[in-house]
Structure 1
C-alpha cells in the first residue's frame, strides 16, 4: 500500500490498470496497453493492479468493473474510465497530463 501511494504521488502521470486474470476485456486491453507504453515512452508510467491480489486498493478506489483505468498525478486521480478503451483515446488522455 505504501509503495502504491508513493507511486501515484509522482509528478509524472501514472495510469493504473485495475484488472483481473479471469477478465476477458482485461486480456483484450493487454496489447493495447503495450502499444500505449511504446507511444508514451518514459513520459508516463503504466502499472497493472490485480484486484484479486490487492483487494484493499480495489475497495479504496471503488473498483466495481474491470478493467478500470485511473490516471494519477501528484497523488490526485485526474481521470477514470471503466471498460474497454481505444489506444488513441488512452494516449490522448495521458498526453493531456504530461
Structure 2
C-alpha cells in the first residue's frame, strides 16, 4: 500500500477526502466525488482517508470537522475546505492547480 506522504508528493493534484463512516455529509459526498472523478479523469487523484483509522493524519492536518477536503500538489496543501461542496467547485479548484 502506498504511503500517504509518498502519495501527496505527486505533481498531479491529489484531492484528499478526510471522512468518517458515521458522518452523514461524508456519505452525501460519495456520489459527488464519483462524478468529479468522471469530470477530471487523470488531472487529479482522489483519495479517501478515514479519520478514525488514521488519527495521526487527522491530527497532523488539523482535521476538526468531516468531511474536510485538502488538495495537495508536490506534497504541499494548496487548498482546503470543510463541509459538503459541489463537484463543479472541486473541478474548478483542481483545474486551477493542474499545470
**Aligning the two structures, in what range does the TM-score lie when normalised by the shorter sequence?**
over 0.9
**Whole-angstrom CA distance in 1 between matches of 2:40 and 2:53:** 27
**Match for residue 89 of structure 1?**
89
**Whole-angstrom CA distance in 2 between matches of 1:86 and 1:11:** 24
**Equivalent residue runs for 1:8-27 within 5 Å:** 8-27=8-27
**Whole-angstrom CA distance in 1 between matches of 2:90 and 2:12:** 16
Unpaired runs of 5+ residues, structure 1, are none
Deviations, residues 12-68 of structure 1 (Å, cap 9, x unaligned) = 000000000000000000000000000100111000000000000000000000000
Pairing 1:33–2:25 present: no
**Whole-angstrom CA distance in 2 between matches of 1:27 and 1:91:** 19
Moved over 3 A (4+): none
TM-score by length of 1: 0.97
**Match for residue 42 of structure 1?**
42
**Match for residue 52 of structure 1?**
52
Secondary structure of 1:94's counterpart equals helix
**Whole-angstrom CA distance in 2 between matches of 1:31 and 1:72:** 21
Paired positions, count: 97
**Whole-angstrom CA distance in 2 between matches of 1:59 and 1:21:** 18
**Match for residue 67 of structure 2?**
67
Unpaired runs of 5+ residues, structure 2, are none
